[in-house]
Amino acid sequence: MSEINMNQSIAAGTQNNEKNYFFPLAAMTTLFFLWGFITVFNDVLIPRLKSVFDLNYTEAMLIQFCFFIAYFVVSLPAGNLVKRLGYQKGIIIGLVVAAAGCLLFYPAVIVHQYWVFLTALFVMASGIVILQVSANPYVAALGTPKTASSRLNLAQALNSLGTTLGPIAGGMLLFGAGSAAVVEAANADSVKVPYLVIAGCLLAIAVVFAFLKLPTIEAHIETEDCKVKDKNLKEAPHLMMGVVAIFCYVGAEVSIGSFIVNYFAEEHIGGLDAPTAAKLLGYYWGGAMVGRFIGSQALKYVAPSKALVFNSVFVMLLLAVTMFTEGNVAMVSVLAIGLFNSIMFPTIFTTAIEGLGSLTSKGSGWLCLAIVGGAIIPLLQGVVADTMHIQISFIVPLVCYIFIAWYGLNVVKLSKQWHDKIA
């Protein structure tokens, strides 16, 4: 076969591969949408339970702490589980566990104890951890490595659609019609129906995935001649620093979203009631959705590391603006952060697992472990808000974005060090 014909054959094979991956990619988007919808529900649940149980900011942030601490506890076992059973079975197990957590909200409402709500959140989050450990590397692998960041950004855009609709649906379901009288009279009973519906959806999708035939990623299966067979993940500096970057990013993103409703209630910021602020929260997550759709195309032409630096610098500027202004300027600047947050998680994730081969599922577990930042950073910001002021507390996520900018500047060099080791 001539060299020209061989190149044409390879190109055709690659194109066919991409087409064959369309259906599994489409199936995976439902998962990204669902866990985005579920996760951001916490942002509306916080002011609801804060009011019901008369909590301070630190106590209210235990909602995010118990949800995201599951990433620390479950991620590494989930990585081992997925390595042993495969991505598809991991997805099914994750869906069932998440549904079980949602069902626990019913007895939590009946006993009316805050710790039972926190337990339900932990179980639900454990299922989502297994889903993320399975789905993120799987989507990144369904196609050529060059477009992995673009592909995961597109999937995460559907995740952001869930996070955009979540606050809107949550505001209506947890705060009723939205009048002050209704909000005041509402109690924890408003939590039951939304989580029962979510549980039903998760179980239905688990049944569907049990019958799907998804392709196996051969490159992620360990063989005798595998380059990384005897390597330790601690030897991959781009992964280790990626773990810290994910910790900072998720912690900062969740923390900002968690405080927006209460932040906008401040008289000098917006003086808004909870239902109105919950609707505006949708713009924060909606910005992330728009940014990810844009990013999925832009990252076909722009280096992921450069995009990461550009976006993190803009977020730092917006945080500085919201900390030192009032009224509409303070509100718009903090909501605009969502647009620049957009590409960060999928870009950090794909650059961190690049070149890990059969260690990819374990590396994914390490990265998902770092999502525990969503438990730690909001709690730290809550402490600063209680001891100083809620506006000053945004310095906590600001520090996180400084590290993310550093990671973007250095990830190419760190990745090269790993490739030199396995060459």
Element (H, E) at 142: none
pLDDT digits (tens, 9 = 90+) for 362-402: 788 888 888 888 888 988 999 999 999 899 999 999 999 99
For position 32, what pLDDT does the model report? 82
Distance CA 141, CA 147 (A): 10
pLDDT tens-place values along the chain, 423 residues long: 443 343 343 333 334 444 467 777 777 777 888 877 877 777 777 777 777 777 887 788 788 788 888 888 988 888 888 888 888 888 899 999 999 998 998 888 888 888 888 898 899 989 988 988 888 777 777 767 667 677 777 777 777 777 777 767 776 766 654 444 334 434 566 677 788 888 898 898 888 888 877 766 655 555 444 555 556 778 889 999 999 999 999 999 989 988 998 899 899 998 888 778 878 887 887 888 888 888 888 888 888 899 999 999 999 999 999 999 999 999 999 999 999 998 898 899 888 988 777 777 778 888 888 888 888 898 899 999 999 989 999 999 999 999 999 999 999 899 888 877 776
Domains of the chain: 21-175+184-219 (1.20.1250.20), 233-422 (1.20.1250.20)
pLDDT of the residue at 12:
39
For 38, 87, 152, 162, 195, the CA distances from 169, given in Å and listed in that order, are 11, 30, 25, 10, 12
pLDDT at 318: 97
Single-letter residue type at 273: D
Please tell me whether residue 336 adopts helix, strand or coil conformation: helix
The dihedrals phi and psi of 223, each to the nearest 5 degrees, come to: -125, 170
Convert the pLDDT of each residue in 258-296 to its tens digit: 899 889 989 999 888 877 887 888 788 788 888 888 888
Q: Which residues of 225-249 are buried (b: 16+ CB within 10 A; e: fewer)?
A: eeebeebebeebbbbbbbbbbbbbb
CA-CA-CA-CA dihedral for 410, 411, 413, 419, to nearest 10: 160
The CB-side HSE value for 236 (13 A sphere, CA atoms) comes to: 27
pTM for the full predicted model: 0.73
Residues 270 and 264 sit within 8 Å (Cβ to Cβ) = yes
| Dist CA 50 CA 237 (whole Å) | 41
Q: How far apart are CA 401 and CA 416, in angstroms?
A: 23
- pLDDT score, position 135: 81
Q: Which long-range contacts (CB under 8 A, 24 or more apart) does 162-165 make?
A: 162/32, 162/33, 162/34, 162/35, 162/36, 162/37, 162/38, 162/40, 163/36, 163/37, 163/39, 163/40, 163/285, 163/288, 163/289, 164/282, 164/285, 164/286, 164/288, 164/289, 165/37, 165/282
Identify the pLDDT of residue 246.
95
